[in-house]
Structure 1
Amino acid sequence: MRLSRVAGAATALVLNTVVPAIGSAAENPPRTLITENSWTLTAPTAGAPSARVELNPSSGTLTLSAFRGVQTVLAPAALGLRTTQADLTRGLSPLGRSDRTVLEWYTMTTGKRRVRSAVMTETRLAFANASGARLDLLVRISADGVAYRYEVPDPTGVTVTSEASAFSVPANSTAWLLPYNAQYEQARIETTAGAAPPRDYGYPSLFKVGDNFVLLTESDVDGRYAGSRLVHEGSGSYQVVLADAQVHSSGALRTPWRTAIIGDLATVTESTLVDDLASPARFTDTSWIRPGKSAWSWLSENSSPGDFERQKAYVDFAARNGWSYVLVDEGWSSTWVPELTRYARAKGVDILLWFHWTRLDTPQERDSWLPLVQSWGVKGVKVDFMESDSQSRYQWYDAVLERTAQLRLMINFHGSTIPHGLARTWPHVMTMEAVRGAENWPSPNTNPVQVFTRNVVGSMDYTPVTFEATHRETSIAHEVALSVAYESGWQHLADKPEVYERHPQALRFLNQVPTAWDETRFVAGNPSNEAVIARRKGERWFVGAIAAGEPRTVSAPLRFLGAGLWLVEVVRDDAGEQRTDVLRDRRIMSPFNTLSVNVRRHGGFAAIICRYIPGRQTCDEPIRQIPPSELTVTPTGPVEVESGSFVEVSGTFTAPASTWIRDVKFGVRPPVGWSSQGEELTRSFMAPGESLQGRWTVRLDPGSGNSGLGDIDLPIAAEFRLPGDATGTPRVHVEQAVRTFVLPPAPTGSPYVSDLPFLSETNGYGPVERDRSNGEAASGDGNPLTMGGVTYARGLGTHAPSEVSIYLGRNCQSFTADIGLDDETTQTGSVTFKVLGDGGVLYDSGVIRSKGPARSISVGVSGVRMLSLQVTDGGDGKNFDHADWANARLSCDES
Structure 2
Amino acid sequence: MPSPSRRSKWSLAVTGVLLASGALTPVAAQAQPADRWVVSGPSLTATVALDQTTGTLSLGATRNGRAVLAPAPVGLRTTGADLSRGLRFVSRADRTVSEQYAMTTGKRRNRTVSGTEARLAFATAAGARVDLVVRVAPDGVAYRYVVPGPVTVTGEASAFTVPTGASAWLLPYNAWYEANRVQTTAGGAAAGDYGNPSLFQSGEDFVLLSESDVDGRYPGSKLRHTAGSGTYQVVLADEQVTATGELRTPWRTAVIGDLATVTASTLVDDLAPPSKISDTSWVKPGKVAWSWLSENSSPGNFERQKAYVDFAARNGWPYVLVDEGWSASWVPELVRYARAKGVDILLWLHWSNLDTAAERDTTLPRIRDWGVKGVKLDFMESDSRERYQWYDAVLAKTAELHLMVNFHGSTIPHGLARTWPHVMSMEAVRGAENQPPAANNPVQAFTRNVVGSMDYTPVSLDVGPKEASVAHEVALPVVYESGWTHFADKPEAYEARPQALRFLDQVPTVWDETRLVGGHPSSGATIARRAGTRWFLGAIASGDARTLSAPLSFLGSGDWLVEVVRDTTSSARGDVVRDSSVRRSTDVLSVAVPRNGGFAAVICPAQTGRTTCDEPVKQVPTTSLAITPAQELDAARGTSFEVTGSFTATGSSALTDVVLTTTAPAGWTVTGLPVRRGMLAPGETMTGRWTVRVGDSSPSGYTDVPVYAEFNGERVHVEKAVRVFVPPDVPSGTPYVSDLQFIGEENGWGPVERDRSNNENTGGDGNPLRVGGVAYAKGLGVHATSEVSVYTGRRCSRFTAGIGLDDETTETGSVVFQVVGDGRVLFDSGAVRAKGAARAISVDTTGVRMLALRVTDAGDGKNFDHADWTEARVTCA
Tell me the TM-score normalized by structure 1: 0.94
C-alpha deviations, 1:205-260, integer Å up to 9, x for none? 00002210000000011111111111112311111011111112221101010000
Question: What amino acid is the match of 1:400?
Answer: V
Match of 1:618 in 2: 612
Question: Is residue 131 of structure 1 aligned with residue 126 of structure 2?
Answer: yes
Report the equivalent of 1:634.
628
- In the TM superposition, 1:152-171 aligns within 5 A as 152-154=147-149, 157-171=150-164
Are 1:461 and 1:492, in contact at CA under 8 Å, matched by a contact in 2? Answer: yes
Find the partner of 2:48 among 50, 53, 62: 53
Q: Which residue of 1 aligns with 2:529?
A: 535
Measured in 2, the distance between the counterparts of 1:314 and 1:844 equals: 33
What secondary structure sits across from 1:392 in the alignment? helix
Quote the Cα distance in structure 2 between the aligned partners of 1:717 and 1:398: 34
Tell me what 1:717 maps to. Answer: 708
- For the 8 Å contact 2:18–2:95, the answer to whether it is kept is no
Q: Hey, what's the Cα distance between the residues in 2 that align with 1:206 and 1:644?
A: 66
**Pick aligned residue for 2:275 from 274, 281, 285:** 281
Deviation at 1:863, TM superposition (A): 2.1
Q: Which residue of 2 aligns with 1:775?
A: 759
1:498 to 492, 495, 506: 492
Q: CA deviation at 1:408?
A: 0.6
Distance 2:215 2:382 in 1: 12
Cα shift at 1:29: 11
**Mapped contact 1:829–1:878 kept (Cα < 8 A):** yes
Corresponding pairs, count: 863
Q: Deviation per CA, 1:462-507, whole angstroms, max 9, x where unpaired?
A: 0110100111111100000001111000000011111110000000
8 Å contact 2:18–2:119 — kept in the other structure?
Answer: no
Equivalent-residue separation in structure 2 for 1:304 and 1:449 (angstroms): 32
Corresponding residue number in structure 1 for 2:174: 181
Q: Amino acid of the residue matched to residue 182 of structure 1?
A: A
The RMSD of aligned alpha carbons is: 2.0
Task: Judge conservation of contact 1:16–1:101 (CA < 8 Å) in 2.
Answer: no
Contact 2:16/2:94 (8 A) holds in 1: no
> Which of 855, 859, 862 matches 2:843?
859
CA contact (8 A) 1:16 1:100 kept: no
Equivalent residues in 2 for 1:758-837 (5 A)? Answer: 758-837=742-821
> Residue 15 of structure 2 contacts residue 92 of structure 2 at CA under 8 Å; is this kept in 1?
no
Asked whether the 8 Å contact 2:17–2:93 carries over to 1, the reply is: no
For the residue of structure 2 that corresponds to 1:627, the secondary structure is coil
CA 30–466 in structure 1, closer or farther in 2 if over 3 Å, else same: closer
Give the 3-state SS of the residue equivalent to 2:310 in structure 1: helix
Alpha-carbon distance in structure 2 between the residues aligned to 1:384 and 1:441:
18
1:7 matched residue in structure 2:
none
* Shift of residue 362, structure 1, vs aligned partner: 1.0
Contact 1:30 1:98 in 2 (8 A): no
Paired position in structure 1 for 2:61:
66
Q: Which amino acid aligns with 1:564?
A: G
Partner of 1:145: 140
Report the secondary structure of 1:439's partner residue: helix
Alpha-carbon spacing, 1:559–1:35, altered in 2? closer, same or farther (3 Å): closer
After superposition, residues 466-477 of structure 1 pair within 5 angstroms as 466-477=460-471
1:24–1:30 contact (8 Å) kept in structure 2: no
Contact 2:129–2:148 (CA<8 Å) still a contact in 1? yes
Separation (CA, whole Å) in 1 of partners of 2:375 and 2:115: 35
CA–CA distance in structure 1, aligned partners of residues 825 and 257 of structure 2: 70
Letter in 2 for 1:373: I
Which secondary structure does the structure 1 equivalent of 2:226 belong to?
Answer: strand
Q: In the alignment, is the contact (CA less than 8 A) between 2:743 and 2:788 conserved in 1?
A: yes
Shift of 1:196: 0.7
The structure-2 alpha-carbon separation of the partners of 1:662 and 1:127, relative to structure 1 and needing over 3 Å to count, comes to: same
SS in 2 for 1:424: helix
2:204 to 181, 205, 211: 211
**Is 1:433 aligned with 2:421?**
no
SS of match in other structure, 1:161: strand
Partner of 1:11: none
Aligned to 1:5: none
Cα–Cα, structure 1 residues 600 and 479, in superposed 2: closer, same or farther, change >3 Å? same
Compared CA separation, residues 21 and 318, structure 1 to 2 (3 A): closer
1:141 maps to a residue whose letter is V
2:729 equivalent in structure 1: 745
Contact 2:13/2:32, CA 8 A, preserved across alignment:
no
CA contact (8 A) 1:547 1:604 kept: yes
Partner SS for 1:386: coil
Aligned to 1:583: 577
Q: Tell me the distance in 2 between the aligned counterparts of 1:40 and 1:698.
A: 72
Structure 2 residue runs without a partner (length 5+)? 1-9
CA positional deviation for 1:577: 4.6
Residue 453 of structure 1: how far off its partner (Å): 0.3
SS in structure 1 at match of 2:104: coil
CA offsets, 1:624-670, max 9 Å, x none? 11121111111111111223332321111112441222122221022
Distance in 2, matches of 1:179 and 1:345, equals 43
Partner residue of 1:754?
A: 738
Deviation at 1:748, TM superposition (A): 2.5
Q: Distance in 2 between matches of 1:810 and 1:146?
A: 72
**2:663 is the alignment partner of 1:669:** yes
Q: Give the direction of change, closer, same or farther, for the CA distance of 1:361–1:740 in structure 2 (3 Å limit).
A: same
Q: More displaced, 364-373 or 316-325? A: 364-373
The match for 1:869 is 853
Q: Which amino acid aligns with 1:598?
A: A
Between the aligned partners of 1:473 and 1:613, the Cα distance in structure 2 is 39
Q: Following TM superposition, by how much is the alpha carbon of 1:311 offset from its aligned partner in structure 2, in angstroms?
A: 0.5
1:544-591: CA deviation from partner (whole Å, max 9, x where unpaired): 100011101111110100011100000000113531100100011110
Match of 2:602 in 1: 608
CA deviations on 1:424-475 (whole Å, 9 max, x unpaired) are 0000000000000000000000000000000000000001101001111111
Which whole-Å CA distance do the structure 2 matches of 1:683 and 1:223 have between them? 50
Distance of 2:553 and 2:26 partners within structure 1: 46
What letter corresponds to residue 714 of structure 1 in structure 2? V
Structure 2 residue matching 1:859: 3-state secondary structure: strand
* Equivalent position to 1:116, from 111, 118, 123: 111
Residue of structure 1 in register with 2:3 after alignment: none
The residue number in structure 1 matching 2:451 is 457
Q: What residue number does 2:549 align with?
A: 555
Alpha carbons 2:650, 2:683 under 8 Å: kept: yes
Q: Does the CA-based 8 Å contact 1:110-1:516 persist in structure 2? A: yes
Residue 191 (str. 1) matches residue 184 (str. 2): yes
In the alignment, residue 702 of structure 2 is paired with which amino acid? D
Relative to structure 1, the CA distance from residue 583 to residue 657 in structure 2 (aligned partners, 3 Å threshold; closer, same or farther) is closer
How far residue 750 of structure 1 moved from its aligned partner, in angstroms, is 2.7
Q: What one-letter code is carried by the residue in structure 2 that aligns with 1:198?
A: A
Aligned match of 2:79 in 38, 62, 84?
84
Q: Displacement of 1:793 after TM fit?
A: 2.2
* Residues 15 and 93 in structure 2, CA contact (< 8 A), matched pair in contact too: no
Question: How far off is 1:21 after superposition?
Answer: 5.8
Q: For 1:609 and 1:21, locate their aligned partners in 2 and report how far apart those are by CA, in whole Å.
A: 50
- Kindly tell me: are residues 807 and 224 of structure 1, through their superposed partners in 2, closer, same or farther at Cα, counting changes over 3 Å? same
Residue 710 of structure 1 and its aligned partner are, at CA, apart by 2.2
| CA distance in structure 2 between the partners assigned to 1:35 and 1:552 by the alignment | 55
One of 213, 216, 224 as aligned partner of 1:223 = 216
The aligned counterpart of 2:5 is none
Q: Hey, what does 1:8 align to over in structure 2?
A: none
Q: Which sections of structure 1, spanning at least 5 residues, go unmatched? A: 1-14
Q: Give a deviation string over 1:124-177, Cα, whole Å, max 9, x none.
A: 0011112211101101100000000001122xx222111111111111100000
Counterpart-to-counterpart distance in 2, 1:94 and 1:192: 36
The one of 365, 369, 372 equivalent to 2:366 is 372
**Offset of residue 891 of structure 1:** 2.5
Structure 1 match to 2:261? 267
- One-letter code aligned to 1:186: A
> 1:103 aligns to what SS in structure 2?
strand
Whole-Å separation in 2 of the counterparts to 1:471 and 1:767: 35
Instruction: Say whether the 8 Å CA contact 1:231–1:239 is kept in structure 2.
Output: yes
| Separation in structure 1 between the aligned mates of residue 82 and residue 694 of structure 2, nearest angstrom | 62
- Percent of pairs identical after alignment? 64
CA contact (8 A) 2:15 2:94 kept: no
